[in-house]
Amino acid sequence: MTPTAGTVRVLPDAAALFLAAARRVVELGQAAIAARGAFHLALAGGSTPAGLYRLLATPAFAGQMDWHRSHIYFGDERAVPPDHADSNYRMARDTLLAPLAISEAQVHRIPTEHPPAEAAAAYSRCLRQHLPPEGFDLLLLGMGADGHIASLFPGSAALDQRNKPAAVATHEPKLAAAGGVDWRITLTLPTLNQARHTLLLVSGAPKADVVRHVLRRVAGAAPLPVQMLHPAGTLEWLLDREAARHLDLPVES
Ligand code: 6PG
């Protein structure tokens, strides 16, 4: 596999994907806590990871790791209040943070109650204060059907940001150019690529075309944001059968 591709696992369905991911989260969390006394975990947003977060909060997994030694961060956030239906923080709070009673002191939320530029600057300060030099112990990411990761969308100026850990971005950059307002705050590529371990969770048939494009590395095509992932550490793709349907890879039983 090419360096960008990392290692690729195909699971029979979304439930099996969440189970495999939950096992990796706990395994890496236990190792980080044993080695360094803390687990610095960046959560993915969107809809896919909710199933993983709910599973991590079940009795089968909740007791396998000392969540009180975790520090929770976010890969990106929509510029909406933390209790908004579109908030990645709210999704994580409802599925993982509240069920596991993770204290607010351990949760480094992107402060979207402030305007986007101020929220991004505040989050950058927070990352510089709390994140070890080696970066996240584990970075969870999803991927859009256009190959975006976090809120780094194709053509976004935020892709070129090298000096700040977090930046302001817009979804549908052309929409923003037309006066559309879908502001985001996102980790920048250097921060994403610093992680010791990165898990990319990709589920569902709508992602199959971009998965093929990325993992088969179409010659000459401009790199998509996900292809700009060159982690210092490991990169693992966890796909379900639907997302991997254009790949001739074995499906784990
Ligand atoms: C977000 C996420 C984004 C997400 C992808 C996939 O804020 O939406 O950070 O990068 O991971 O868009 O989203 P789904 O899991 O909903 O397909």
58-109 pLDDT tens trace: 999 999 999 999 999 999 999 999 999 999 999 999 999 999 999 999 999 9
CA distances for 7 relative to 3, 4, 237, angstroms: 9, 9, 6
46 C-alpha vs ligand 1 centroid, how far in Å? Answer: 4
At residue 5 the predicted structure's pLDDT band, cuts being 50, 70 and 90, is: low
48 C-alpha vs ligand 1 centroid, how far in Å? Answer: 7
- Residue 219's pLDDT is 75
Please write the tens of the pLDDT for every residue from 138-181: 999 999 999 999 999 999 999 999 999 999 998 875 565 666 66
Among 168, 53, 67, smallest CA distance to 121 is for: 168
Closest-CA residue, ligand 1 atom 12, reads 144
At residue 132 the predicted structure's pLDDT band, cuts being 50, 70 and 90, is: very high
Q: Which residues line ligand 1 (CB under 6 A)?
A: 44-48, 75-76, 88, 142-144, 148-151
- Residue 173's pLDDT is 59
118-132, 172-186, 217-231: least confident range? 172-186
- Residue 176's pLDDT is 56
Task: Tell me the best of 84, 149, 202, 203 to mutate to test the pocket of ligand 1, counting ligand atoms within 8 Å of each CB and taking the most.
Answer: 149
At residue 2 the predicted structure's pLDDT band, cuts being 50, 70 and 90, is: very low
Among 217, 229, 156, smallest CA distance to 189 is for: 229
167 C-alpha vs ligand 1 centroid, how far in Å? Answer: 17
SS3 at position 11? strand
> What is the distance between the alpha carbons of residues 129 and 132, in angstroms, rounded to a whole number?
8
Please write the tens of the pLDDT for every residue from 8-58: 999 999 999 999 999 999 999 999 999 999 999 999 999 999 999 999 999
At residue 222 the predicted structure's pLDDT band, cuts being 50, 70 and 90, is: confident
Task: Tell me the best of 17, 43, 47 to mutate to test the pocket of ligand 1, counting ligand atoms within 8 Å of each CB and taking the most.
Answer: 47
- Residue 220's pLDDT is 77
37 C-alpha vs ligand 1 centroid, how far in Å? Answer: 30
- Which numbered atom of ligand 1 lies nearest the CA of 142? 11
